[in-house]
Amino acid sequence: MSKILHYYILSDSVGDTALKVARSALAQFPEARTKLHRHNFVNDTDALNDILQEAAALDGLVFITIADNQLAKYVERFCIETGLICYNLIQPFVLEIQRRLEVEPSEIAGAQHELSDAYFKRIEAIEFCIQYDDGRDPSGMDEAEIIIIGISRTGKTPLSMYLGTLGYKVLNIPLIPENEPPVELFKTDKKKIIGLTNDPYTINRLRETRMIEYGMDSGTRYASIKRVEEELNFADELYRQLDCPVINVVDRSIEESATIILDIMNMPVRYN
């Protein structure tokens, strides 16, 4: 693939929203040769015209976030006259909201940035939770805001992911008697650690169901009450060593458990 696709990010603000949308689309073409032309804080027609002329000469794609209606109309006229392909990611929605609410928009450049910034911070937190799920990489403990530990079937992963949607970077670690917990757990800030526990018979039922889903014998040692109690005792001893808060998740929803964690750590919900 020899052709280079030139794509332009054009904004009367920082342009992060347009850049992320463009890169999300281009990610579908990993072998494509592309060149980014980024122009932020464009607020006059002369500068706008120069950029659009260059984009047209290179047959570029232009991704736009422009709040100013006059500048947006200028771009629209230019595209109609030249055939340049432009995607205004803000203006069509602003106009539709204006029509429905029958109020004038503020046309403040960057007014959308606070929302988009919050959105992408939530995405970053969720990606962190995925990367550091199930003890995959203990090196993330320093960056993690919350560290959840517990034996299998105590709900570590769904709870971590839910907290991630609230904007928190969460790392979780499975506890297994045969495996020593990572040394990083004893070196990190203990105030970030939350232990999970559950009723042994509830865990027993959850594990039996999991074995059946995997097409395995539900009577395996992993699912037995004896094994579950052994693991819970191991976890309880570790919780005492770490002196960390422990939440019994039995009969609690994920949302309720998350609220308890945030209350314990005195952390407000960041993004509703």
Residue where a domain terminates, one of 63, 85, 111: 111
pTM (global) more than 0.85: no
Q: Is the pLDDT of residue 117 over 80?
A: no
**Residues 162 and 250 both lie in one domain:** yes
For the chain, what is the mean pLDDT? Answer: 87
Domain that holds residue 37: 4-111
pLDDT bucket at 234, cuts 50 / 70 / 90: very high
Residue where a domain terminates, one of 111, 135, 150: 111
Name the binding residues. 150-157
| Each residue's pLDDT tens digit, 46-83 | 999 999 999 999 999 999 888 787 888 888 888 888 88
Distance in angstroms (rounded) separating the CA atoms of residues 239 and 235: 6
Buried/exposed 125-156: b ≥16 CB within 10 Å, e otherwise: bbebbeebbebeebebbeebbbbbbbbbbbbb
Name the binding residues for ADP. 150-157
Q: Is the pLDDT of residue 258 over 70?
A: yes
Q: Is the pLDDT of residue 206 over 60?
A: yes
| Each residue's pLDDT tens digit, 96-105 | 777 788 777 6
- Between 113-122, 139-148, 263-272, the lowest mean confidence (pLDDT) is in 113-122
**Residues 170 and 104 both lie in one domain:** no
pLDDT bucket at 257, cuts 50 / 70 / 90: very high
Average pLDDT of span 8-33: 84
**Residues 106 and 137 both lie in one domain:** no
8 Å CB contact between 200 and 225: yes
Give whole-number Cα distances, 45 to 19, 42, 52, 66, 78, in Å. 21, 8, 10, 12, 11
Instruction: Tell me the CATH number at 23.
Output: 3.40.50
pLDDT bucket at 119, cuts 50 / 70 / 90: low
What is residue 180's predicted lDDT score, i.e. its pLDDT?
94
Instruction: Confirm whether 272 is domain-assigned.
Output: no
**Residues 17 and 105 both lie in one domain:** yes
Q: Is the pLDDT of residue 6 over 80?
A: yes
pLDDT bucket at 108, cuts 50 / 70 / 90: low
Q: Is the pLDDT of residue 109 over 70?
A: no
| Each residue's pLDDT tens digit, 169-199 | 999 999 999 999 999 999 999 999 999 999 9
Buried/exposed 224-236: b ≥16 CB within 10 Å, e otherwise: eeebbeebbebbe
**Residues 205 and 176 both lie in one domain:** yes
C-alpha of 67 from chain center: 26
What is residue 271's predicted lDDT score, i.e. its pLDDT?
60
**Residues 105 and 163 both lie in one domain:** no
